[in-house]
Amino acid sequence: MSELSVKNLMRRLPEAFIPEKSAGVHAIIQFHITGEEGGDWIVTIQNKTCHVQDGVSPNPNLVFEGDAANVLDVFTGKMDGMRAFMQGKLVLRGDIGLAMRLANLFKAT
């Protein structure tokens, strides 16, 4: 199996989504990924569904920024998300409570 890329991670998010854990979550999350595999993605969680598209949202509930390598490490469990945030490796703006809930809404990649 090839190594996971940010683009593949974003494509796989809906498959890893756990709908039953998302009751009451209605959110738009902007991912701004920098570095070699950088890009912008919008993740919309609503009505127990998860949809991912390329682009920039004008009014997200949460903005998640980081270098591609750090983002992959957090999503694959190699790096603790809270530690990455505290060390400045990931930047979160907006609904931090939502950010803390996100880990529980997805199966490990």
Six-digit token string for 75: 């999503």
Mean pLDDT on 75-89: 90
DSSP-derived secondary structure letter, 4: P
CB-based contact 94:57 (threshold 8 Å):
no
Domain boundaries, the chain: 6-100
Say what the pTM is: 0.90
- CA neighbours within 13 Å on the CB side: how many for 103? 12
Strand order in the sheet with 62-67: 49-54, 39-46, 27-34, 62-67, 90-94
Tell me the one-letter amino acid at 10. Answer: M
Q: 84 in helix, strand or coil?
A: helix
- The CATH number of 6-100, from 2.60.40.10, 3.30.1050.10, 3.40.1410.10, 2.60.40.1180, is 3.30.1050.10
For residue range 29-50, what is the model confidence (pLDDT) as tens digits? 999 999 988 999 999 999 999 9
